[in-house]
Amino acid sequence: MNKYSTVICDKNRYSVPTRYFGLKIRLVLYVDRIDIFHGGRKITSHLRLYGNNKWQLNPLHYLELISRRPFSFDAARPIRQWKKQWPQCFEDLLERFRDKQAQTKGTKDFIKVLMLLKEHDKIDVIDAVKIAIAANISSSGAVEHIIHNAKAASDAGAVPLDNRQTLSPPDISVYSRIGGEI
């Protein structure tokens, strides 16, 4: 692995999460993909590139590092490539965060929103960002709260069990016999 947190295979580069920098990794090559392992555990997978000098970068691999250096956000290759594809609502939210919190703090807070993509479905995060924009919200914590509320609301639609077993109420009269009357 090199200083860009990528591995080179067949003259092409594939990203690896930055926390694995300097560690021994193993590549397994398939016709359509490349799996990358550390210590017997699969850490990432990429579509296989054919040709020379191509880069397959997963921007989520770099977010932790970039959050420590927010000035590098706009210049980082994975972010520049990702910005070409991400929804307009992400750009709008980034602009709002930077306007409300200043450039550095706003960028750091926006990176926290992007990190939600590691734990939650992309559609859920995009929906939460759209709700945050409509509600004039400028905090990553609020966006995360929106995601959790939406998930709780969808889980609340579960059907109750009418025939579940219940316990009889406990007999608390026995407590007066322990150590005398109060």
Q: What is the pLDDT of residues 55-109, one digit of tens each?
A: 888 888 888 888 888 888 888 888 998 999 889 999 999 999 999 988 889 999 9
Token output for 41: 């555990």
Q: Which residues contact 52 (CB under 8 A, 6 or more apart)?
A: 11, 12
Look at residue 161 and tell me whether its pLDDT is greater than 90: no
- For 10-50, strand residue ranges (E) read 12-15, 26-29, 33-38, 41-47
What's the pTM?
0.72
pLDDT of residue 165: 74
Torsion 116-118-122-124 (CA) sign: negative
Instruction: Give SS3 for 38.
Output: strand
pLDDT digits (tens, 9 = 90+) for 20-59: 888 888 988 889 999 999 888 898 899 988 888 888 888 8
Contact 134, 156 (CB under 8 A): no
Token output for 113: 């929103």
Q: What is the DSSP letter of 61?
A: G
Domain ranges of the chain: 6-56, 62-155
| Of the candidates 103, 110, 101, the residue with the CA atom closest to the CA atom of residue 71 | 103
